[in-house]
Every structure is written in C-alpha cells, then in structure tokens.
Amino acid sequence: MIMYESIADSLKNDLKNTFYHDAVFIPASRTFFANLQKNIFTFLASNLDIDPYLKEFGSLYENAKRLYNDPYLKRRNVERVIQEVQADLQAVVNGDYEYIDEQDWIVNKGKRINLINASSGQQESLPMLLVLATWTAVKENCMFFIEEPEAHLFPTSQGRIVSILSKIYSETNSRFFLTSHSPYILSAFNNFIMAKDVIDNGNFTLKRFVEVNGSGSPINFDDVSAYTIVDGNTKCISDTEYRMVGADILDNISDHFQNVMNVMLSEEF
C-alpha cells in the first residue's frame, strides 16, 4: 500500500508539474480583443460574468503588447529564438506589430492598418503570437494550452504557426497542448517529425530543412501525442510504424474528395 501511494503521488506530482506549473491558456475567439484596444483595462476591471480564462489571457495580451518591442527582450538568453519567432510573426500577419497611442497597428512597407480593420486571420493570430513571443522570453518551461492555433489562417500561415511552436519547444523546453480541426496542422507536424528522423539517419541536414521549410526545428515523434474524439471517447492517432500523426484521418479526407471527383468524372464521360 505504501509503495502504491508513493508511486501514485509521484505520478500526480508529475502531471501537476506538466499541466499546471506556469500554464498559459490561449483561448479561441481572439478577434474579441481587436475591438477592445483602449478599452481593455475597463474590460479587465469589470465585474461582468466573463470566462476567467478569457480575462486572464486579456491581461497577458495587454502586457505582451507593451513588451513586444522592448529592448529587454533582446537581452534575454533566448534572443535568437525570439528573433525567429518575430520573423515568422511578420510573415503570418503580413507586417510588423507596433503599439502606438494604446492602439494595435500592423505596419508593412511604410503603411499601417489598425488591427480592428485587419483580416480575421490577423486578428486571431496576432494576440496569440505576441503572447508566445514575449512570454517565452520572460519565462521558460511554460505549458501553453492553445485553442485552434490555425483559426482563419491560410494553410501556408498555419504551417508557419507550427514552425513557431517547434522553435519555442526546441529552444525553451516549453510544452504545448493544442486543439485543432485542421488537417494542415497535422501535415505540418508530420513534416517536422520526418525532418527529425531523416536528419538523425544522416540523410538530410538541418540547414537543408530550414531552406526547404523556411523556419522551425525538427520534432521528435516520441515527444508528440495525438488524439481524436470519437463518440465521446479519445482515440490515439499516432502511428508508431510510419512515425506520423493522424495519417488515417488525412488519408480519409483525401479519399473522400477523390472519390467524389472520380464519381463525377465517371458519370460525366
């Protein structure tokens, strides 16, 4: 009994350290904050019955906006990863971020657009990326819970998001718990997993991978767990034989669309 309790307590502590120590929750519906800007402090101080996670993220986001271009970030020991994350951020939102007169601006080629007038993809991704870029510099070994990191983004930008997550994971030992509906996110993860395998086998180089992919760090398959929910139950979608995640899901999606096209082609001709 003593041995069982000792093991159980150890597991509980490990889970607690993994999921709750320095946890950062990044909710979906981040476009909500594009409409606040100057009114965010009123929102944070209000007694309205609002999701506490949304309020907590609002506070993190407000601090991130003020820190993003602060020279303090450049003095941290993760300067290189911050620079790479900022470069990918610029690619995703199509410009750099500036915080002027308590308003959010995206600046590109001398022109600037207020976040409230930007696309839904920019409004969804910017708050998430600012928090990731700044919080990573302030504190390592975080646990990030991110809802729908791909929200409203074009597939290539979704790949950039995975590049950012892979770089942060590689350089800071931070961990991620993601919820996603996107097959492109799965495909991007599979590319990073394959990169790790072929580099370890000596058939590829990290430099070449970055040239081909644009950015990011390879991911060890054994560091990834992936699940889907079927009829209220979780089902593992990690394929240990082919060292991929969600391969069957991706195949089923492709097969469905291909089947529809084949039927139409066969009946037309």
Residue ranges of the domains in the chain?
A: 20-181, 182-269
Q: For residue 107, what pLDDT is reported?
A: 96
Q: Which CATH architecture has domain 20-181?
A: 3-Layer(aba) Sandwich (3.40)
Q: For residue 160, what pLDDT is reported?
A: 96
Asked whether the beta carbons of 124 and 152 are under 8 A apart, the reply is yes
Sheet of 96-100, strand order: 96-100, 103-108, 111-114
Rounded to whole angstroms, how far apart are CA atoms 79 and 86?
10
> Is a pLDDT exceeding 90 seen at residue 176?
yes
> Is a pLDDT exceeding 90 seen at residue 49?
no
> Is a pLDDT exceeding 70 seen at residue 17?
no
Rounded to whole angstroms, how far apart are CA atoms 247 and 236?
11
Strands (DSSP E) contained in 148-252 are 175-179, 227-230, 233-236, 238-239, 244-245
pTM of the model: 0.85
Asked whether the beta carbons of 172 and 141 are under 8 A apart, the reply is yes
